[in-house]
């Protein structure tokens, strides 16, 4: 298949269409407007495609609920403030065990914030985001190729586990162009029995999250939890970059990981053996894999475009087995690899290790 040069937002759209997404609803917000625009165009071309520009993000996610229940591979996308509005529906999707893909092209926050790339929504995404006891699968692509691959995977994961899946990227990932090859998607394997089509001649079906009896609700909670544990066991993904001989490991995801990779090249030119641990699934977080790494490496430095959110998962994983430093640039600031290189040099002492013990 051909390599094409495409913008991140459009890559997501194209990958979704190829994966069989036939329903999209969304509300404009920068920096992800190219997704609804692309979907508006492409869903006209494919058979059975439905595009709706909804009146709000709230409406969009509830349209997705309906379309998903009716059997369509469905997607919505937004950026931070709009994702806050979608949480009600995401919670419903989790409760009703309906598949859907939600894209968050993060921007600076809280509040209206700004439209620059940021990673401030990590907590919201990885802790479920809305009310109630649930998790969603969160994928953190760091390249155009991963935007394509993970978007396709997101639909498969959503179906397999009947759960919402979020692509968590940021304005830079959305705007950047890189060459990409679209893989051939797997055919959809989603049992007809889950689809609501009208009862026909048979028994009627109910899709609901309301379970008034606390004992029944508890059972539903544990059922969901068991599912989440299976996901955590089977679906965790991460990447190691120049970690084999590393004496210091940077931990970063998405755009942050790209900057970190740039910094690592520079650090190695200066003789510092730095490597990268990059979670690809942000939930489930690759806890065990990171813990294993901490058995042989003593120094970790977490880099995020936030004031420090993923760093808490890193601490939970490493459990005091190693020193953990932190560097954060919130607010939509995208630091250069040189800055991060300097930070590492400053915080890392060959004898003492990481100095700012976070």
Partner 1 sequence: MMKKVFGRPQSMKKNIFHYCAGCGHSIAHRLIAEVIDELDIRGITIGVPPAGCAVLAYNYFDIDMIEAQHGRGPATATGIKRILPDRVVFSYQGDGDLAAIGIAESFHAANRGENITVVFMNNAVYGMTGGQMAPTSIMGQKTTTSPAGRNNVLDGYPIQVSEIFSLLPGTAYIERCTVNSPASILKTRKAIRKAFQYQIDGLGFSLIEILSPCPTNWKMTPIESCRWIDEVMSKSFPLGVIKDLPAAAKGEQKKGGPRHDG
Partner 2 sequence: MMVKTIFSGFGGQGVLMMGYSLAHGAMSAGYHVTFLPAYGAEVRGGTANCTVAVSDDEIASPIASEPNNIVVLNTPSLYAFQNRVAPGGALFLNSSIIAVESSRHDVRIFKIPSSEMAEKLGNPRTANTVMMGAFLKITGLVPPDIYLSSMATVMGSKKKSVIEINRKAFAAGHEFLKIAE
Question: Where does this chain bind partner 2 (CB under 8 A)?
Answer: 3, 5, 30-31, 114-116, 171-172, 175-179, 258-259, 261-265, 334, 336-339
69 binding partner (options partner 1, partner 2, none; Cβ < 5 to 8 Å by kind): partner 1
Q: Is 58 exposed, middle or buried (0-12, 13-18, 19+ CB in 10 A)?
A: middle
Instruction: Find the shortest distance in angstroms from Cβ 3 to partner 1.
Output: 34
Beta strand 164-170 pairing with 238-241: unpaired
CA-CA distance, 131 to 92, in Å (whole number)?
9
User: For partner 2, which is the closer residue by CB, 130 or 174?
Assistant: 174
Query: In the complex with partner 1, which residue's Cβ is closer, 1 or 206?
Result: 206
Q: How far is the CB of 261 from partner 2 (least distance, A)?
A: 3
User: In angstroms, what is the minimal distance from the CB of 260 to partner 2?
Assistant: 8
Nearest distance, CB of residue 114 and partner 2, angstroms? 7
With CB under 5 to 8 Å by kind, the binding choice for 55 among partner 2, partner 1, none is partner 1
Binding site partner of 186, from partner 2, partner 1, none, Cβ cut-off 5-8 A by kind: none
Q: Taking CB within 5 to 8 Å according to partner kind, which of partner 1, partner 2, none is near residue 63?
A: partner 1
CB 63 to partner 1: min, Å: 4
At 326, list the tokens.
């932190």
Rounded distance between C-alpha atoms, residue 21 and residue 1, angstroms? 20
State the binding partner of 171 from partner 2, partner 1, none, CB within 5 to 8 A by kind: partner 2
Decide whether 46 or 70 has the Cβ nearer to partner 1: 70
Q: Which does 254 bind (CB under 5 to 8 A by kind): partner 1, partner 2, none?
A: none
Q: Is 211 exposed, middle or buried (0-12, 13-18, 19+ CB in 10 A)?
A: middle
List, in sequence order, every residue forming a beta bridge with 318; answer none if it has no partner: none
Binding interface with partner 1 (CB under 8 A): 22-23, 25, 48, 50, 52, 54-56, 58-60, 62-72, 74, 88-89, 92, 96, 196-201, 204-210
230: tokens are 């299976």
Cα separation, 320 vs 340, in Å, equals 24
For residues 66 and 353, which CB has a smaller minimum distance to partner 1 in the complex? Answer: 66
- By a kind-dependent CB cut-off of 5 to 8 A, residue 201 interacts, out of partner 2, partner 1, none, with partner 1
Can you tell me the distance from the alpha carbon of 234 to that of 247, in angstroms, rounded to the nearest whole number?
29
| CA pair distance 260, 238, nearest whole angstrom | 15
Considering only CA atoms, which of 284, 302, 172, 175 is closest in space to residue 234? 284
Q: Which is nearer to partner 2, 308 or 337 (CB)?
A: 337
Name the binder of 96 from partner 2, partner 1, none, CB < 5-8 A by kind: partner 1
What's the number of CA atoms in the CB half-sphere (13 Å) around residue 327?
29
The binder of 72, among partner 2, partner 1, none, by C-beta within 5 to 8 A per type, is partner 1
Give the count of alpha carbons within 13 A of 277, CB side only: 30
C-alpha span between 184 and 132 (Å, rounded): 36
Cis amide leading into 284 (omega within 30): yes
Q: Are 92 and 99 in contact (CB under 8 A)?
A: no
Q: Choose between 83 and 93: whose C-beta lies nearer to partner 2.
A: 83
* Residue whose CB is less far from partner 1, 27 or 228: 27
Taking the least distance from each CB to partner 1, the nearer of 89 and 109 is: 89
Q: How far is the CB of 32 from partner 1 (least distance, A)?
A: 20
Q: Which is closer to partner 2, CB of 5 or CB of 212?
A: 5
Cis peptide before 31 (omega within 30 of 0): yes
CA atoms within 13 A on the CB side of 202: 7
Taking the complex as a whole, how short is the minimal distance between the CB of residue 204 and partner 1, in angstroms? Answer: 5
């Amino acid at each position: 298949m051909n390599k094409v040069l495409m913008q991140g937002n459009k890559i997501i759209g194209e990958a979704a269409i190829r994966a069989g997404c036939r329903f999209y609803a969304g509300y404009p917000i920068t920096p992800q407007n190219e997704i609804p625009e692309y979907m508006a165009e492409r869903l006209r071309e494919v058979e059975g495609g439905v595009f709706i520009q909804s009146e709000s993000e709230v409406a969009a996610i509830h349209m997705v609920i309906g379309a998903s229940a009716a059997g369509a591979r469905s997607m919505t996308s937004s950026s931070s403030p709009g994702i806050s509005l979608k949480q009600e529906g995401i919670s419903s999707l989790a409760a009703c065990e309906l598949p859907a893909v939600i894209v968050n092209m993060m921007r600076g926050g809280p509040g209206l914030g700004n439209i620059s790339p940021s990673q401030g929504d990590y907590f919201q995404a990885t802790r479920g985001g809305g009310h109630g006891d649930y998790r969603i699968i969160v994928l953190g692509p760091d390249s155009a190729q991963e935007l394509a691959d993970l978007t396709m995977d997101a639909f498969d994961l959503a179906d397999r586990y009947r759960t919402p899946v979020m692509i968590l990227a940021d304005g830079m990932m959305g705007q950047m162009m890189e060459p990409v090859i679209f893989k051939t998607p797997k055919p959809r394997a989603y049992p007809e029995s889950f689809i609501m089509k009208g009862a026909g001649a048979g028994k009627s079906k109910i899709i609901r999250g309301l379970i008034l009896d606390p004992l029944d609700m508890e059972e539903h909670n544990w059922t969901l939890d068991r599912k989440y544990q299976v996901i955590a066991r089977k679906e965790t993904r991460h990447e190691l970059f120049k970690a084999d001989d590393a004496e210091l490991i940077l931990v970063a995801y998405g755009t942050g990981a790209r900057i970190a990779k740039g910094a690592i090249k520079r650090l190695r030119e200066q003789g510092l053996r730095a490597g990268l641990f990059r979670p690809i699934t942000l939930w489930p977080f690759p806890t065990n894999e990171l813990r294993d790494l901490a058995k042989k490496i003593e120094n970790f430095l977490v880099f995020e475009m936030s004031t420090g959110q993923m760093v808490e998962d890193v601490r939970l994983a490493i459990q005091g087995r190693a020193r953990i430093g932190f560097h954060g640039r919130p607010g939509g600031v995208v630091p250069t690899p040189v800055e991060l290189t300097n930070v590492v040099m400053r915080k890392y002492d060959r004898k003492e290790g990481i100095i700012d013990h976070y």
